[in-house]
Structure 1
Amino acid sequence: MAKYPPKSVPKAKQTTVPKVRLYVERPEKENWFVHVGHVTDRGRWKTEPHAHPAYGQVIFVRSGRGVMNLEGSSVPFEGPCALLLPTECVHGLDYEIDVDRWVVTIEVAYLTQVNAKLQEFISLWAAPRMIPLSYSAEAGIEFCNLIKSLKHEVESDAVGHVVGTEALLTSLLLMLVRETRLEETGNEGATRNDVRQVDRFRKLIDEHFRENLQLQDYASMMAVSLVQLRAACSSATEQSPTKMIHARIITEAKRNLIFGDMSVEQIAFGLGFADAAYFTRFFRREVGQAPSQFRVAARQQPHRKVVSQ
């Protein structure tokens, strides 16, 4: 994507999504890598949209229901289900009356290590999702028992408790993979190397998407050729590398438009565009609306309630 060279622009005060370092109560162990918390609430309980920069989460809603604000969209949920929230995913939670939930928090470096075990784990964490576990009574019970066992192992000082924690966490994620029915059709023929290359590419995009780097710059950082990068993205995601970069820019633009108070021009400059008009054309082409239209529509979106089936 051709942006324009940056120009000197007055800095804007950026009011955007809060970054929360620790969502659950303080872990007992100082050097924790997995934490499991159990919360039961009477009455309604709500969190405003926020993001976690240092860890991913699995929230198991054992019973109860509510609505998740996911990147500005309302996603209803009803237990038993699992809410999977990758690092930096913007989400808010509005639980309705009497919700019983378990919160599994996984430190990002350790999560990366576990994900390397299976390419489907990387695909699972590629996007936030709500995973129903209500098709059978056994599914919710099995998942709950796994989390209880994980909590016991995490808090244990017995010999091999780290190995035990890893084994139970792996089993937990494997169950989610099998329940998710991943719809990414391009993953079927992807090799493990393709999936890992794309995962690495996504991380580099997260670090550099504001800098208007060329594809060759990304390929050089990954020590692969442009042909190899394009082939891996096509195999693992059925998207071009350019399309993946565009998608990340649009995600950040939407976050700023929904949750922040910067002008469209300030958002454009913050994303590396030196011309707000070009940013508007780019956004309209990718989203189908001008940034200002998207902001108004997103903020006027009604808060949908969950309807019992």
Structure 2
Amino acid sequence: MRHLASNRSPRERNLLAAPVPVPKVRLYVETPETQQSWFVNVGHVTEGGRRRTAPHAHPFYGQVIFVRIGKGVMNLEGSSVPFEGPCALLLPNECVHGLEYEIDVDRWVVTIEETYLKQVNTKLPEFMQLWTEPRVIPLSYDAEAPADFYGLIRRLEQEIRSKAAGHAVGTEAALTSLLLMLARGTRLDQIDQEGATRKAIRLADRFRELIHQHYRENLRLQHYASMMAVSPAQLRAACVAATGLSPTKLIHARLITEAKRNLIFGDMSIEQIAYGLGFIDTAYFTRFFRKEVGQSPSQFRLAARDHTHQAM
């Protein structure tokens, strides 16, 4: 998609549309009081009454929230996704989300440091696929699944607290078992498993990192492929095998994600957002956004803000 054709200078573009900061929330395990390294943390929250957290992102780690009892709604980049326990909410690093829990929710929160999570994910291609997007994973597919998952959570918690020999190995084993159960309960079979080799998934993961760095620059697919020392055909095959999406669709998805964040969190005009993302004009950006989202940017902004006000 060639959407860059503006005569504006980089400085003018920066003045028009500075990046909108997404609220970042750090965990209590990162506070100075602990003064120790951590890779995995398990927290238990039992609350009476309704509770809501505004949309935010977690830097440097992913989360699995096990909703044992209760239900609610997760706000993912402006879209409302209902959930009901027993289920697991899987939130990748930097995923923008808000959570609204209803009365008497019992939940366990597993937080995994980003580098450690990547290390564990290399054990199985399905683990990498699991974290490609936020998910609500019902645990009602098997009568024993909720109790088994709860057992894994408690085992993981015990290993983290243990000072016994081999507790680090035990922690990794418990976390691996937990992720394996989530992978088996997720419809990853909808993606071409035969083609989704470890190499393809790693290639697609590298491509997503490059998109994150360069999505405003409107680079051609050939440019991305050259940076990765592969052919465009190899890149297309890897992306489709690992994610079910073409490289172009992945680029579009990143642009839409940033556009949504600007619309939800920022006060810039639609024109400013369009130029900030490299579009030639507002009309082109509006057509692109409507095609991908089903709403115009202004409609999406109004609906997202109405939802936020109603929830408060």
- With normalisation by structure 1, the TM-score equals 0.90
For 2:2, give the aligned amino acid. A
Please tell me whether the aligned partners of residues 184 and 237 of structure 1 are also in contact (alpha carbons under 8 angstroms).
no
Are 2:198 and 1:192 aligned?
yes
Correspondence for 1:96: 102
> Is contact 1:24–1:37 with CA below 8 Å preserved after alignment?
no
Q: Flag as ranges the 4+ runs of structure 1 deviating above 3 A.
A: 11-16, 23-29, 297-305
Tell me: CA distance 1:234–1:138, structure 2 relative to 1, closer, same or farther (3 Å).
closer
1:207 Cα deviation from its structure 2 partner: 2.2
Deviation at 1:54, TM superposition (A): 0.9
Q: Aligned residue for 1:208?
A: 214
Distance 2:34 2:143 in 1: 33
Q: Give the match's secondary structure for 1:144.
A: helix
Counterpart of 2:25 (choices 9, 20, 43) is 20
Q: Distance in 1 between matches of 2:122 and 2:112?
A: 14
**CA 1:275 to 1:56, structure 2 compared with 1: closer, same or farther past 3 Å?**
same
Percent of pairs with identical residues: 69
User: SS of the counterpart of 1:19?
Assistant: coil
Residue matched to 1:3: 3
- Show the counterpart of 1:267: 273
- Which residue type is aligned with residue 229 of structure 1? L
Give ranges in structure 1 of 5+ residues lacking alignment.
none
Give, in whole Å, the separation in 2 of the partners of 1:302 and 1:49. 9
Counterpart position of 2:171: 165
Q: Which runs of 5+ in 2 are unaligned?
A: none
Distance 2:196 2:98 in 1: 33
Is residue 156–residue 174 contact of structure 2 (8 Å, CA) maintained in 1? yes
Distance 1:41 1:5, change over 3 A: same
Compare 273-282 and 102-111 and name the one that shifted more: 273-282
RMSD of aligned Cα (Å):
2.4
Report deviation, 1:182: 2.3
Q: Structure 1 pair 183/17, CA: closer, same or farther in 2 (3 Å)?
A: farther
Aligned to 1:284: 290
Aligned to 2:226: 220
Alignment of 1:1-309 (within 5 A): 1-5=1-5, 7=8, 8-9=12-13, 10-12=15-17, 15-22=20-27, 26=31, 28=34, 30-182=36-188, 184-300=190-306
Amino acid at match of 1:96: E
Cα deviation, 1:264-292, whole Å, max 9, x if unaligned, reads 11211222235333322322333343222
Give the AA of the match of 1:239: L
User: Aligned AA for 1:267?
Assistant: I
Q: Comparing 24-33 with 106-115, which one deviates more in the overlay?
A: 24-33
Q: CA deviation at 1:200?
A: 1.6
Q: Deviations over 1:96-116 (max 9, x none)?
A: 112111100011111111111
Q: Is the CA contact (8 Å cut-off) linking 1:39 and 1:101 kept in structure 2?
A: yes
Alpha-carbon spacing, 1:100–1:190, altered in 2? closer, same or farther (3 Å): same
Distance of 1:147 and 1:80 partners within structure 2: 13
Q: Which moved more, 1:225-234 or 1:104-113?
A: 225-234
Aligned partners of 1:4 and 1:275 also within 8 Å:
no
Deviation at 1:137, TM superposition (A): 4.3
SS at match of 1:104: strand
Rounded to whole Å, the distance in 2 between the matches of 1:161 and 1:221 is 41
**Matched residue pairs, number?**
305
SS at match of 1:189: coil
TM-score (norm 2): 0.89
Deviations 1:92-136 (A, max 9, x none): 111111211110001111111111111111111111111111344
Q: Secondary structure at the match of 2:90?
A: strand
Q: Conserved in 1, the CA contact under 8 Å of 2:121 and 2:128?
A: yes
Change beyond 3 A, Cα 1:201–1:139: same
More displaced 10-residue stretch of structure 1: 157-166 or 79-88: 157-166
When structure 1 is superposed on structure 2, of 45-54 and 283-292 the one drifting more is 283-292
Moved more, 47-56 or 225-234: 225-234
Separation (CA, whole Å) in 2 of partners of 1:23 and 1:180: 30
Contact in 2 for aligned 1:187/1:237 (Cα 8 Å): no
